[in-house]
C-alpha cells in the first residue's frame, strides 16, 4: 500500500455548502492540490480530470460552478500570439464578494 504524504487546505465553507456536489468538492480539492505559495495555480483541464477521474467536459462544468459560487477566480492566460494556455486559478478562502 502506498503511503500518501502531504495535504491540502480547502475552504471550509465548501465542505458544508449543500449546493456543492461531491464532484464539485473533488474538483476544488484537486485545484487546491496544485496551489503555489501565492495561492495560485495553472493546471490544465486534462490534469484536473486525471486527478478527479472524470472527463474534461465535466471538470469544466464543475469549475464554472465553483467560480459562480465564489470559491475560485479564473484568470485566462495566453501567449503573445493570443494562443490560449491553461487558466490561472486563485482560491477564495473567504467568500466575500470580489
Note the pLDDT of residue 97.
47
| CA–CA dist 79, 51 (Å, integer) | 26
Domain presence at residue 57? yes
pTM, entire model = 0.85
Spell out where the chain has E strands: 40-41, 72-78, 84-91
Domain presence at residue 35? yes
Sheet holding 72-78, edge to edge: 40-41, 84-91, 72-78
Range(s) of the domain holding residue 41: 18-91
- CATH number of the domain encompassing residue 67: 1.10.10.10
Domain presence at residue 5? no
Instruction: List the pLDDT tens digit at each of the 98 positions of the chain.
Output: 445 557 788 999 999 999 999 999 999 999 999 999 888 999 999 999 999 999 999 999 999 999 999 999 999 887 777 777 889 999 998 865 44
Largest pairwise CA distance in the chain: 47
C-alpha cell at 37: 505559495
pLDDT (tens digit, 9 = 90+) per residue, 8-28? Answer: 889 999 999 999 999 999 999
Domain count, the chain: 1
Domain presence at residue 2? no
Domain presence at residue 40? yes
Amino acid at each position: 500500500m502506498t503511503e500518501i504524504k502531504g495535504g491540502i487546505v480547502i475552504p471550509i465553507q465548501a465542505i458544508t455548502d449543500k449546493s456543492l456536489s461531491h464532484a464539485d468538492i473533488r474538483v476544488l480539492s484537486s485545484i487546491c492540490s496544485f496551489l503555489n505559495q501565492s495561492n495560485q495555480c495553472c493546471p490544465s483541464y486534462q490534469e484536473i480530470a486525471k486527478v478527479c477521474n472524470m472527463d474534461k467536459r465535466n471538470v469544466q462544468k464543475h469549475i464554472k460552478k465553483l467560480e459562480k459560487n465564489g470559491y475560485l477566480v479564473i484568470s485566462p492566460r495566453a501567449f503573445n500570439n493570443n494562443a490560449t494556455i491553461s487558466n490561472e486559478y486563485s482560491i477564495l478562502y473567504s467568500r466575500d464578494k470580489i
